[in-house]
Structure 1
Amino acid sequence: MRAWVVVLVAVAAMLAPVSVVAPAQARPAVETRTTALLGRLSIPAIGVSAAIIPVGVTRRGELAIGRSARDVYRWRDGVVPGQEGSAVLAGHTWSKGPGVFDRLGRLEVGDRVVVGRNRFEVTRVRRVRDMSRNAVAALFSDRGPSRLVLITCGDRNNTTGVYRSRILVSARRLSRR
């Protein structure tokens, strides 16, 4: 079973970069048509409506998350929401104004998330301080039923500016609109 190997790295004042190591056998590129149908992320329960920006990785192997606090980021070589496996969307929580995922931790089981034509239902909301490499890799699986993982930083230390945890929201796909 192939899984995307990812390591979360702490960074002050912004969402932590995510290191991505592709499996030995590269995943086929996502069709342009599929990417075009991706659409926007909508989470009515917390007032989110955001563009989804596909990104690559930096030279250090970290997810190249941009500086926009209003958009979310998806690894361009990863699972697209609605495909088999886990699609992971990362967004900022921001100390200097509104961030797209400022209220992510307020979601509840049963809340709805919409990505393009795909509807998801929140199944779990959790805060984690430490995750093993294997636990993080499991978030990026390209196998199994279609699901969505939303991730942001949490528990900011206002003295140091360092975020001490990650907020992870898991959701299962319901249907297409």
Structure 2
Amino acid sequence: MREGRSLWPGTIAAGLALVAGAWLLQGGTLPPLPGAEQALGAVGSEVYAPPRPRAVPTRVRIPRLGVDAPVTTLGLDREGRLEAPADTDRNLAGWYREGVTPGQRGTAVLAGHVDTREGPAVFYGLGSLRRGDQLEVAGADRGASWFVVDAVEVYPKKDFPDEKVYGPGRGSQLRLITCGGSYREGEGYDGNVVVFAHLVRGVSA
């Protein structure tokens, strides 16, 4: 996929629901959901850093959530949906290998499980992030990209706004996505939590 091009299949994280919720059935609690005050608003006077060269992501750090996780590469399944990271490792995020990398011009996406059979997983706390929170994505080039959160929203899987989430935006954009919403036994979570963020600093080694 060329830099800046953002073509995504419908509800890219649908596959993440395959094991999500198993922990809930064992007495776990629903993950946090964002409040209305964290909804996406009009683009204001945010500072955008210049995009940096392509660098495959190797690690994502979200200080507010205590997340420090390796990033694996993901492809698409037979139905054209993004594959889920291995559910044998709760602390693992995934990046679609045909997409732009975090820090490049365009919209990059990192996906992760909300929970597994063993308990909360890497993106369990996404819904508690707030506008202004920061996160870091390290690259294989030994550089890094820092992003600031613009919004956190939850969407129903059956009516997922592909263009709004995956479409190109100003400069370098990042989306973090996991399962969320309400949960029903046998059906899993009915939505996806999405974090919208933009690049504020990029360093290339």
Asked whether the two chains share a fold, i.e. TM above 0.5, the reply is yes
Residues 1:4 and 2:26 aligned together: no
Instruction: Give the TM-score, by structure 2 length.
Output: 0.68
Residues 1:167 and 2:167 aligned together: no
Identify the match of residue 145 of structure 1 among 163, 166, 171.
Answer: 171
Paired residue for 1:103?
A: 125
Residues 1:121 and 2:127 aligned together: no
Distance in 2 separating the partners of 1:174 and 1:156: 33
State, as a whole percentage, how many aligned pairs show the same letter: 31
Paired residue for 1:89?
A: 110
Mark the CA change 1:61 to 1:54 in structure 2 (over 3 Å): closer, same or farther.
same
Counterpart of 1:42, as a letter, is R
- RMSD over aligned CA atoms reads 2.5
- Residue 79 of structure 1: how far off its partner (Å): 1.0
Distance in 2 separating the partners of 1:89 and 1:140: 11
Distance in 2 separating the partners of 1:172 and 1:51: 20
Paired residue for 1:154?
A: 180
Instruction: Give the TM-score, by structure 1 length.
Output: 0.77
Distance in 2 separating the partners of 1:130 and 1:59: 19
Paired residue for 1:23?
A: none
- Residue 14 of structure 1: how far off its partner (Å): 3.0
Paired residue for 1:46?
A: 65
Instruction: Indicate if the aligned counterparts of 1:88 and 1:139 stay in contact, CA closer than 8 A.
Output: no
Kindly provide the CA deviation profile for residues 63-87 of structure 1, in whole angstroms up to 9, marking residues without a partner as x.
1222233111111010100000111
Identify the match of residue 64 of structure 1 among 67, 74, 83.
Answer: 83
Counterpart of 1:60, as a letter, is E
Residues 1:74 and 2:95 aligned together: yes
Identify the match of residue 134 of structure 2 among 112, 127, 138.
Answer: 112
Q: Which range moved further: 110-119 or 138-147?
A: 138-147
Mark the CA change 1:131 to 1:161 in structure 2 (over 3 Å): closer, same or farther.
closer
Mark the CA change 1:47 to 1:143 in structure 2 (over 3 Å): closer, same or farther.
same
